[in-house]
Structure 1
């Protein structure tokens, strides 16, 4: 057994076990989401002892300078000493200013941050509520709006998403950490073709990337493929059809992935998977950029398939989050 200390309390870890897994096994209530070092919700501060290189992978230089590490990526070493991070060390106060239901499972949340907050569409934040529960969400609007906008899908047994959908009220006080992530539009690719694929609630952030490209007068073609099981999942359908009329080089492709005996009439939709439709329509090459947004399993599978289809991996930009699955049965995707 290897032992380490968090806030002066001793914990015994099994061989090769991470700090986070040890704390969970001991029944400690700790914040975490992806367990892959992406979401940054399980940060702790390193005080003393040896840490592995991967413990700080993906952290900004500022976070590294303050000796923060990801508990999920930190392998326990003997006599390691750590300290919990206080919320005000990383988080900025915010107020829930707007709330709008977009369909039967997705709610639009707009937050007013008390301090200046500069972000790009495609980045994400960590959102913390009153009891310390923290989750990661992609930003779906331009920083010029003065608000932080999120499209949140209500998940079965989701502690945070279900609360946001059903219970959170206007004026609710929360804490925001970020922005983080680098999968945003780069104006240096102005002449390249953009292929943006959205799965489910990834639609919000996908559209924000398209809007950002259009605001920078992007010259290349922009193709947005959106997948949903039902028409209700295509909750920005009318708006995107209008955008296509306003911008000659923007093309919107709506895809219904659920089983349907009859094609929805008059809706300009196709039956099929959005990634497969994109592969059929475009020959992937180095003159294109691919953005994949939404459910982690679908994003990761599509990223792999893009690579196998010859798409340069450095031109694949992924926007997804792993999250704790509280179901007693595996999630049906």
Structure 2
């Protein structure tokens, strides 16, 4: 049986054991969210030995050369010593600048990093509140905003959302790895119809993408659709309406869960050149994608990010 070591601790594990489970089940708390190799919350650094890795493409060559691996995607096959990600020493420091409630359940968190962070609209970042970590999509723009903005869905209790509720202005917070995600804006899309379909706080990153498109003076028609549980869930209604009032090529639609089946049935493509960016829960992304494909949208013209519920 291989031996697993973390700091001064060591124990035997069954060959082929999932590394994330082997750590968490033996008292070494490693955060995770998606268990699919996307969120990167479960980064660990291999000091001696290497695990079998089912997602070698998930990290950069530089990260892999330094021994970093995603614990959820690794199996222990030999003696292994790992260093778990320590937000104090491995994370980048930031400070809470603002905390605002956008409606009853969405907490807008704005952070000021100690050093400027290079990122693009649609990317996501792992946030650490104490020793609880979760990946969240950025709703801000580096060219326009001096802060990093995140929209946290706090409808349900969860370790990170509960910790976020207790944050105060000036509190320190740590930033983990920045990830690309599927959502972005390409200036080459300048004249093509652009549809942005979001459910819940999936609107956050698409709001950033929208602002990026407008910053590039996108000429094609832009259609924003926001799906919320009920009418009170359209937490960015006023900012979106203000943008639509300034841009003739921008339209905004607000759907509720009860209206979804009928609204989807009426969804029609105006142009086969349409590009669709979709973000939200697995069920909502699947529902949007299925209808778009039935309407004739080519699969390579849909970009989607799925939010997994683990607060």
TM-score, normalization by structure 2? 0.89
User: Is residue 2:249 matched to residue 1:249?
Assistant: yes
Aligned to 2:285: 299
Aligned to 2:268: 281
User: Does the Cα contact within 8 Å between 2:122 and 2:180 map onto a contact in 1?
Assistant: yes
Aligned to 1:154: 154
Whole-Å separation in 2 of the counterparts to 1:275 and 1:186: 28
Whole-Å separation in 1 of the counterparts to 2:227 and 2:188: 28
Instruction: State the secondary structure of the residue aligned to 2:76.
Output: coil
Aligned to 1:133: 132
Whole-Å separation in 2 of the counterparts to 1:248 and 1:56: 45
Instruction: State the secondary structure of the residue aligned to 1:169.
Output: coil
- Root-mean-square deviation (CA, aligned residues, Å) is 2.4
Whole-Å separation in 2 of the counterparts to 1:214 and 1:276: 26
Aligned length: 309
Instruction: State the secondary structure of the residue aligned to 2:69.
Output: strand
Aligned to 2:208: 208
User: Does the Cα contact within 8 Å between 1:197 and 1:226 map onto a contact in 2?
Assistant: yes
1:273–1:151 Cα change, 3 Å: farther
1:106–1:83 Cα change, 3 Å: same
Structure with more of its chain in strand, by fraction: 2
Whole-Å separation in 2 of the counterparts to 1:275 and 1:120: 31
Task: Show the 5 A alignment for 1:1-333.
Answer: 1-7=1-7, 9-14=9-14, 16-87=16-87, 90-130=90-130, 132-143=131-142, 144-165=144-165, 167-182=166-181, 183-258=183-258, 271-272=259-260, 276=264, 280-282=267-269, 285=272, 287-303=273-289, 306-307=292-293, 310-324=296-310
Please list every run of 5 or more consecutive structure 2 residues that lacks an aligned counterpart in the other structure.
none
Shift of 1:274: 9.2
Q: Deviations over 1:88-133 (max 9, x none)?
A: 5542110001111110101111101110112112111111123x11
User: Does the Cα contact within 8 Å between 2:129 and 2:163 map onto a contact in 1?
Assistant: no
Q: Deviations over 1:165-193 (max 9, x none)?
A: 3x211111001124312421111211221
User: Does the Cα contact within 8 Å between 2:15 and 2:78 map onto a contact in 1?
Assistant: no
Please list every run of 5 or more consecutive structure 1 residues that lacks an aligned counterpart in the other structure.
259-270, 326-333
TM-score, normalization by structure 1? 0.84
Q: Deviations over 1:242-266 (max 9, x none)?
A: 32221111111111223xxxxxxxx
Shift of 1:15: 5.3
1:15–1:110 Cα change, 3 Å: same
User: Does the Cα contact within 8 Å between 2:41 and 2:126 map onto a contact in 1?
Assistant: yes
User: Does the Cα contact within 8 Å between 1:244 and 1:251 map onto a contact in 2?
Assistant: yes
Whole-Å separation in 2 of the counterparts to 1:13 and 1:114: 40
